Amino acid sequence: METRVSVIGLGKLGACMAAAMASRGVPTTGVDVNAAPVESLQKKRAPVFEPGLAEMIASCDGLLGGTQDLESAVQNSEISFVVVPTPSNSAGAFSLEYVSQAMQAIGCALRTKSAYHLLVLTSTVLPGSTEFFVKPLLEESSGKRCGPQFGLCYGPEFIALGSVLRDFLNPDFLLVGECDAKAGERLTTFYRDALRCEARVARMSAINAELAKIALNTYVTAKITFANLLAELCERLPGGDVDAVTGALGMDQRIGARYLKGALGYGGPCFPRDNQALACLLEELQVSAELPRAVDRVNRSQAGRVATLVNRVTEGTPQRVAVLGLAYKPDTNVVEESQGIAIAHELVHSGHSVAVFDPVALDGARRVLGDTVHYAASLAECVRGAAAIVLATDWPEFRAVLQQTASCAPRPVIVDGWRMLRRSTGMDAMSYRAVGLGNPDRETQERLRRFVKGLAGTQPSEEGQQAAASSAGSSR
């Protein structure tokens, strides 16, 4: 029998999930309380910006629909994926306000449905949310028992904006948090058979799956932040090169190369808030939150570090500075927790006249930066007359900045947050500064020289002597 699906919530993930499922031949109905995204689906248009989404929706051949009638969507589907926002509350935890509204309405729809229905909560929530909040709410509003009469799973997705469609259809693994074995098997079978997904499956309780989801994201942020720490250190070492260092680290199977690129800080709608939410949970349960708090603190210092570098190359004199890149990463228009936005804020605060440009994120930037900066309509306009240029997002088109500034006299200093131009010809230490590449001043070099020469005259600690004695047999 053909499985019909409803996706409740047509935001940046929900809209892509609905289109991707329909593209695999699954009859899918997208549901949202707002009319705009529903009308977009009905007219075969993309409700959100995501590469490839418009083309995928246009090719769904009648398998993808949209409605604001949640009850009808639940009644006419066998599985519902709930992908509603879980924004941070004032303490940093995930609010369940929208989850509550959706599950209450779904429960009412299930009350009059005789057939078994599987509910899959996809939104990121803190451990315990499915078992201690969602499940009782559904049972109360539906008048039915979870397990024998309806199924409930926590099934998060591991996707990145800019590659949502690819990530959803080709995941590294599937995480299934089941309230009972029947629900978990039903969800696994759907992914295997209907979506033709061959990824490994990790099945576990809902509470463990909730922790695994947030733990994965916060682990990645720690890895990014460690690489960024190495980048800052490399800048203070003569000949320091963070790409050489992280390239070696990534060869070790215990570490791996993914996300190990020393550059600017992480941003976006997930990583920063997941760190804060995990810290909130740890503190609530009286477990040390020192690690996620430190990661967040170091990450938030990155924009100020870049602004300090710009102030150094402009010799502390307010000048025109161009910031290229306002989206938090390429292939998305999302500016939430964007390094480019944060750097622009810091530069304005330092007194500079700041011009900004991004291929797709100017509208979002205006809502954050207001009238504090000049919004350029093109790369050429943005860099015209700039004393310094910051490459804050690694959009490929920004490599053309060299052609735009080749005839400038004096030539602006390029501060490259991603080392996009490090292999380009015609760059020199006066006109090019890159995050993660060594360019220490004389004072820093002298400090390093004194430090390492002085180590020869220091006595090992008692613990060091004991360690040396214990390893002497193997080292001689």
For residues 385 and 345, what is the distance between their CA atoms, to the nearest angstrom?
20
Nearest to 162 by CA among 361, 358, 333: 333
Res 476: pLDDT: 44
pLDDT reading at 34 higher than 70 = yes
Q: Which helix (H) or strand (E) holds 67?
A: strand 64-67
pLDDT class of 409 with cuts at 50, 70, 90: low
Say whether 65 sits in a helix, a strand or coil.
strand
Q: How far is CA 113 from CA 104, 118, 143, in A?
A: 15, 12, 11
**pLDDT for 100-156, tens place per residue?**
999 999 999 999 999 999 999 999 999 999 999 999 999 999 999 999 999 999 999
Contact 69, 32 (CB under 8 A): no
pTM above 0.85, yes or no: yes
List the single range of 66-75, 329-338, 442-451 with lowest mean pLDDT: 442-451
* Structure token digits, residue 254: 């215990």
Domains of the chain in start order, with CATH, are 5-198 (3.40.50.720), 215-300 (1.10.1040.10), 302-434 (3.40.50.720)
